[in-house]
A = this chain, B = another copy of it.
Amino acid sequence: MTIEICTVGGYNEVGKNMTAIRVDDEVILIDMGLHLDPYIQYTDSDEVCDMSASALTSIGAVPDIKLIDDWRKKVKAIIPTHAHLDHVGAVPYLEKKFNAPILCTPFTSEVLSAICTDEKIKLKNKVKVLNVNSIYKISDKITIEFVNATHSTPQTVLVAIHTPYGIVLYASDFKFDNHPVIGKKTDMAQLKKLGKKNVLCLLCDGTRAGQAMKTPSEQVAREMLKDVMLATSSEGKAVVVTTFSSHIARLKSIVEFGKKLNRKIIFLGRSLSKYAAAAENAGIIKFTDDVEMVKYGKHIRRKLKQIQKDPSKYLIVCTGHQGEQKAVLGKIVNGEFEFRFNKEDQIIFSCTVIPTPLNRANRDLLERNLRQHGVRIFKDLHASGHPSKEDCREIINLVKPKHIIPCHVGLAMATGLTDLALEMGYTMGEQVHLMQNGQRFRVLD
User: In the complex, A419 Cα to B365 Cα: how many Å?
Assistant: 17
- Is A193 located at the chain interface by the 8 A CB criterion? no
- Is A47 located at the chain interface by the 8 A CB criterion? no
Partner of A216, one of B227, B389, B419: B227
Known: A220-B220, A418-B411. A212 touches B379 (CB 8 A): yes
Partner of A212, one of B213, B361, B367: B367
Taking the closest CB of chain B, its distance from the CB of A169, in whole angstroms, is 19
A224 and B232 within 8 A (CB):
no
B436 and A422 within 8 A (CB):
yes
User: In the complex, A357 Cα to B363 Cα: how many Å?
Assistant: 9
- Is A41 located at the chain interface by the 8 A CB criterion? yes
Known: A41-B365, A227-B216, A434-B428. A393 touches B411 (CB 8 A): no
Contacts of A364 in B (CB 8 A): 356-358
User: In the complex, A219 Cα to B358 Cα: how many Å?
Assistant: 34
Interface residue tally for chain A (C-beta within 8 Å): 60
Contacts of A360 in B (CB 8 A): 357, 360-361
B-contact bits for A395-425, CB 8 A (1 contact / 0 none): 0010000000000000110010011001110
B428 and A435 within 8 A (CB):
yes
Known: A178-B231, A227-B214. A390 touches B361 (CB 8 A): no
User: In the complex, A419 Cα to B411 Cα: how many Å?
Assistant: 8
User: In the complex, A276 Cα to B228 Cα: how many Å?
Assistant: 32
- Is A165 located at the chain interface by the 8 A CB criterion? no
Q: Of residues 218 to 236 in A, which have CB atoms within 8 Å of B's CB atoms?
A: 219-220, 223-224, 227-228, 231-233
User: In the complex, A435 Cα to B434 Cα: how many Å?
Assistant: 12
- Is A378 located at the chain interface by the 8 A CB criterion? yes
- Is A184 located at the chain interface by the 8 A CB criterion? no
- Output the nearest chain B residue to A211 by Cβ-Cβ distance: B379
A434 and B434 within 8 A (CB):
yes
Taking the closest CB of chain B, its distance from the CB of A3, in whole angstroms, is 17
A227 and B376 within 8 A (CB):
no
A374 and B423 within 8 A (CB):
yes
A213 and B379 within 8 A (CB):
yes
- Output the nearest chain B residue to A439 by Cβ-Cβ distance: B428
Given contacts A213-B228, A376-B390, A429-B429, 7 further A-B contacts (CB under 8 A): A212-B378, A357-B357, A357-B365, A358-B361, A411-B415, A412-B412, A412-B415
The 6 closest A-B CB pairs, nearest first, are A361-B361, A357-B364, A357-B361, A178-B231, A212-B377, A358-B361
